[in-house]
Copies of this chain bind each other. A is one copy, B any other.
């Protein structure tokens, strides 16, 4: 079965050192990291911690927010941090409207990618545009579909600009399976999370562990693996209930959920 990467946001309040120790103990060899906890721990220390435990970093989250004033410098720093950690992908949450029209805001994302792509190539980290669920279009990401994300990638080589594909954000889109098939070289990071109803008051934190909601994972996993995607698969779940629980339990349940969902895919890598 394709290796799991545990994205630390799934156990948001679990200290980084414990995440790494817990993953190593559970034989989970890969982690997805976030900039804030890494910065808090110290970038150099975090790198040593992960290396000493024999783990690899599958992604760093997040760059993007191209509507913000400091987008350029902040994204350059984020690329540098990802490179330092050996993460192949910087997850980009591209930002909402920032008072602009959709087409203006999307043009700003395109311009941002163009400005950053050379540095991404220099440091060997892919800018991994994450199409986010359309319910976040106004305030978090004007990139709301895989098709739209791929349009943004098109001018650049796949090593410079690719996709973060999260099942939570794209499961509803009938164009996703064929688009995955036709654009496998763009997938820099593949993440699993489930869609649970009813949505909670804060829709940002209502995702579910794979298998607890309505996403039909097998076709998505099979489509991604069929493209030759050869990286670990992340589980990244924002859920207030999970965050209230001990990290060890969350990791254990994540491994169980991942194993179960991957077992339903006919070609689980």
> Interface on A for B, CB 8 Å cutoff?
97, 101-103, 106, 133-135, 137-139, 144-145, 147-148, 171-175, 195, 197-203, 213-214, 216
What are 26 residue pairs bridging A and B, where the CB atoms are less than 8 Å apart in the complex?
A97-B214, A101-B216, A102-B171, A102-B172, A103-B174, A106-B174, A133-B134, A133-B135, A134-B135, A134-B173, A135-B135, A137-B171, A137-B172, A137-B195, A138-B172, A138-B195, A138-B197, A144-B173, A144-B174, A145-B173, A147-B174, A147-B175, A148-B174, A198-B202, A199-B203, A200-B201
Whole-angstrom CA separation of A61 from B200 in the bound complex: 27
When distances are taken between beta carbons in the complex, the residues of chain B under 8 Å from A97 are: 214
Whole-angstrom CA separation of A216 from B100 in the bound complex: 9
Given A147-B175, A148-B174, 7 further pairs, Cβ under 8 A: A102-B172, A134-B135, A137-B171, A137-B172, A139-B197, A145-B174, A199-B203
The contact of A172 among B144, B174, B199, B203, by CB within 8 Å, is B144
When distances are taken between beta carbons in the complex, the residues of chain B under 8 Å from A135 are: 133-135, 199, 203
Oligomeric state, in copies: 2
When distances are taken between beta carbons in the complex, the residues of chain B under 8 Å from A147 are: 174-175
Whole-angstrom CA separation of A172 from B96 in the bound complex: 11
Question: Quick one: closest B residue to A170, CB to CB?
Answer: B134
Q: Are A134 and B201 in contact (CB under 8 A)?
A: no
Best-buried of A97, A138, A145, A198 by chain B (most CB within 10 Å): A138
When distances are taken between beta carbons in the complex, the residues of chain B under 8 Å from A137 are: 171-172, 195
Whole-angstrom CA separation of A71 from B145 in the bound complex: 31
When distances are taken between beta carbons in the complex, the residues of chain B under 8 Å from A199 are: 135, 199, 203
Whole-angstrom CA separation of A174 from B171 in the bound complex: 18
When distances are taken between beta carbons in the complex, the residues of chain B under 8 Å from A139 are: 197-198
Question: Quick one: closest B residue to A218, CB to CB?
Answer: B101
Shortest CB distance A135–B (Å): 4
Whole-angstrom CA separation of A135 from B173 in the bound complex: 11
Whole-angstrom CA separation of A201 from B175 in the bound complex: 29
When distances are taken between beta carbons in the complex, the residues of chain B under 8 Å from A172 are: 102, 134, 137-138, 144
